[in-house]
Structure 1
Amino acid sequence: MILKNKSLWRLGFAISLLLGFTACKKQDAIRPSIEKRLSVLDSTRLTQPEKSLSELDSLLQNSKDLNDKEQALLLFNKGEALYLNDKYLEAFNTQQQSHKLFVELKDRYNEARSLVTLSGAALHMGDIETSQKYALQALEMGRSIKDKRIEGKAYNQLFKLHFRLKDYHEALSYIQLTDSLYSTEADTTSIISIKNNKASVYLKLKDYNKALASYSEAMALSQRKRDPKTLVSVLNNIGYTYMQAEEYESAEKFLRGAVTLNKNIKAINAAPYKGLGNLFLLKAQNDSAEANFNRALAIYSSKKDMKEEIDVRDKLIAISIMSGDYTKALNHQAVRDSLQLNVNNLEKDRLLNFANVNYEVKRKETEIQHQKEINRRNTWLLISTVILFIFLLIIAAFSIYNTKLRAANRASKLEQRLLRVQMNPHFIFNTLAAIQNIILDGNPIKSSNHIAKFSKLIRQNFDYVRKESITLDKEIEMVTNYIETQQLRFNNAFAYSIEIEGIDDTSSIKLPPMLLQPFIENAIEYGLKGKKEGGELLLKIEKNGNELSFVISDNGVGRSAKAKDEKITEELHATSVFLERLKMRKKGEEKTFVIEDLFDTDNNPAGTKVFFKLKIND
């Protein structure tokens, strides 16, 4: 009996192990059928994007039959397809789903790949800070798993980020790192792309010789790979480079080479014709320029590339005016204006999509508004006895509208003045200079962090200036960001402290945005800036009942006698804007505002203190 029980126990244990192994295998393994379909979709992602996305969606709809690994890879491929077809918001959301699954699966390689795409999508949507965060995470992960390809992609993403910021020297350092990692890779297409990117930076830096050298390397690789389409693109880029260097004969040689190669491979590419048109226009050979622009125009029109068609038509308008053919110029202008209207509409739709506006909600709101208009018209037609009353209502509505318009105009002017006060050009230029010094010291990570912090401060200013109120914690966060950016400028020559008394939850208190920064700037610029060491800045916020008191004080050199004699304008200290904002609240808070000069025991200037109170709702 005992032996029988032992045999049963062993059999049960063996079955459990088998089931566990099978479950793990199902969870982690990719079925050959799925792997084969992914391989096919990878080759059609660019040539047939809609078909590729439809196939991926069809596979994902049967998610119950997929294990986590298969679902993660399908989501990843869908995100890549969306990204390559310029659907960046959808790509970002899809890649976030795949990234979460890869993290759970502890698949660090694919996790890093998804981070690279997330960084690229965020950059296209204008979110520099998020793009940088994901790129640095991908870089760190690529190093930890010792994958040079991932490292190279992360560096390439950082290159694109700094190129977008027009920080070309930093962009160059990152693309050079990418180039060094890919130099031993077998992926010729990627290496050609890197050489082209490097050349594009040299062009921005006007180092034409190095740009041409990089393009020449790309050309040699294209010839070795026997990739005529890529070679056409490289030849065209070389031609444009020579054009910028004002070596027109060489430019014409390479552009005509691109045209000839296009004809040989029966490819339809307008770029070389456009390049020749620009070249002949620079050489004042208008007939040849017009002929080439017309060839480019025919191709762009057939491909419905409206932006390029607009650019070419602008050139043709100029040529027609120079030749005195105003009818042709007007015809081009009419078509150009129509195209621009379409481009503007498309750009508007893209921006709405990036802002994550819910189209369906907007559509319903429009329908409701439309119904209201219909009801209003019916009321006019059916109830003739109230015409006079409605007429009076219209007059009242116009009066209210004009009043609101004047108030909006006043608020807009105040907003512009406030933004000018907040965004002091000297502060921006000096901060950028300080960041540049860090870059020159060879600390890319530190410089990237300071750029991210500075860009966040700029974004906070633009975001908050249009809001009626923000929470106290956000105001403190922005002020802290500003002070620390100023500390970067002055190499931490002063210290600061923020004291909060009587407030348990700063996120529950609302106040007008951007009240404190101008006075903190004055404390630094006109007080602490002249103090070589031992500078201290204090911001104290205290709640008493339904009042919030603010004190901004410094132990700087104080307001100079010369400044007092000249009666520093209210605009210099931002007081006029500040007081006007308080007056608009109609709570009498402007009467609490005081600027006090501080003196030591010997009656020498010892700093400045600003004090005011705000009334808040409990």
Structure 2
Amino acid sequence: MQVIRNIIAVVFVVLSALPVVAQHPPTKKIDSLTRLLPATQGIRRISCLNALSEAYWWLPRVVPDSISRWADLAYQESLKFQDTPGQATAIMHLGVGEVCRKNLLASKIYLHKALGMFEGLHNDKGLGWCNLWLGKVLYSENEFDNSLEYFKRSLDYLHRLNDWEGEGVAWGWMGFLYAAMGEYDSSFKYCNKSLAIRQEMSDHLCVAAALTNMGHLFRVAGDNEDALDYFQQGLQYANTHSINVHKTNWNYLDEPMGIVYRLMNKPDSSLFYLKRALQIDPENQMTQVSLGETFLQKKQFDLALEIFLKPIEHFRRENDKWDLMRVLLDVGKAYEGKDENNIALHYALEGSAIAQSANEKQSMMAGYQLLSDIYKKLNRNDSAYIFLQKYTALKDSLMNKQFLWRLRNYKVQADYEQKLKRIALLDKDNKIKKEELANAAMIKWILAVGLLALVFVGFIVYRNLSLKKRNVLLRSKQLEQSLLMQQLEAETKQASLQQKTTELEMQLLRAQINPHFIFNSLNSINRFILQNEKRQASEYLTKFSRLVRMILQHSQNSLISLESELDALRLYIELEALRFNYHFSYKISLQEELDISMLKMPPLIIQPYVENAIWHGLMHKEEHGHLYIEVCQESNQLFLKISDDGVGRSTVPESRYQSSATHKSMGLQITAERIALLQHFHPSDSSVIINDLVQDDGKAAGTEVVIKLPFIYD
């Protein structure tokens, strides 16, 4: 049961990583992984822990603490089991948790370490996602060019893996990056790619999010009306596909809608959506900053400053230049609104400098305008005029860019809307046709059911009449069948018991012969050691270990292939030849028609007779001896002939023969009983014949043993 649970766990983890149809929210996946976790061990447990950590990356709500918690457990387990791929994945997840907390410096340490490990492992999935998250970190540090390189590098790996989830994220983030750089055509192109992938995946939650991303693009491009339209499309799509954004704690629509209403100079509507967003995610620092910007618009400067000043040191420490730039300019505006212009100037200069170093034109324009207003209030008109000129020039350039992009995009949007209308009309026609077909099918179905009902009633009447007549006959047949079944069950049980008894006897005999052979072999090894013949002892031990391994492998099988039996026999003869200092040679002859790999026989059938030929025939011969083994088929029987040119049975010294009588009788008797038991499974004329060979002058010329076995194929 434990093995089955482990297999299920691994299969689930592997399937959960496949980029097919994404399912959000991942609540079911998290619950399943949590239930499977106690049943996993080792590397499978590490994979399960990493999968749990990754599950908290996704919408509707990212949970950094859960990401880090499961990743840390996976990291500790990977150190224990020396699982390098699992360790690299856990380190990457620890970095992701820090990204979500906006601890950029710590996240870069984790992600760079994981990236190096993935490069060593040639792990494309790890390289794709690690480069993607590093690109996100560099984007937050206003390193736009470097961020773009990492995004492109990640897409190479993710596209090769057909990882749609990763590609959708990468295209979306690249769209944001190009928007920040003022490249609206590229931004629109990549945001559209992200939306298309989400639609192809039927990932409804992320389709709604991608529509929101499109709204962000239009907002950055200065088109607040279209931005709001996309946000509302995202909300409508979520509602159409049964995604309750508030019940699922999805903080992805309220905040952007609050920002757009502020840009449209509707602060009350902005406050409504931003406060609702904070009810969903009260700890979201950037949602709080958006709320502060609305307070700023309502000239509630102290409330705004209380929000803006809180995260500044954290952003500085973590080198989060993107968020720091935004908050510094907000603080400058708040102090300028309170007429504390010297303090406002300090923050405005720092925020504007960060924007200029990143060439982030929206923030640069806001910074120039703010500096011009502050210098004017400080009666530094020259400086005010310089920044006013910069603001005007940049604003004209940016507005021209935005206008041209909206002009180019207008036709695309119009075509897209026409396409949606055509699709809607086609859907309406298809629905009408489906309803007509459904009505026609319903009428046919009613007629068919009515006809079947009439046939069924007639059948029931006929059946009842027939059953009354046949009732007595059926009862008698049932009784007869019951008795027959009981008899068959008894016979089956008896046959099963007989087969089990026979198999147990076979196993007992195999267990007797293996210790007998091992005892003789160990005596031979001991003799070499006592005679200080190290090379022969080493060679003998090597071959002996191979032979013992083969015997152990065959010990659980009632039948093995003839090929395996002959392999073991060769090892045994070579051991005996080594022990007798190659006093004899041997030859095994096989009939060409035999398929020794498919032909089956009991294990260690030939060995006792070969041992007898060596010990009682060839060992007592003064000259070099010969051992012949012939395997052939005759009349659907397998013949095994073992012959030697030793001294023969009649010339063995009486004392020597009697001293080994116990040894010989044990091996040959056991083998004879095994051949006899084989008849229980394969009835045949199995037998063993021993012939004394003589020369023409009547002298002993050796011994021949003929074994007949049934012909058994696999």
TM class, shorter-length: 0.3 to 0.5
TM-score calculated relative to the size of structure 1: 0.40
TM-score, structure 2 length as denominator? 0.35
Greater relative contact order (CA < 8 Å, ≥ 6 in sequence):
2
Larger Rg: 2
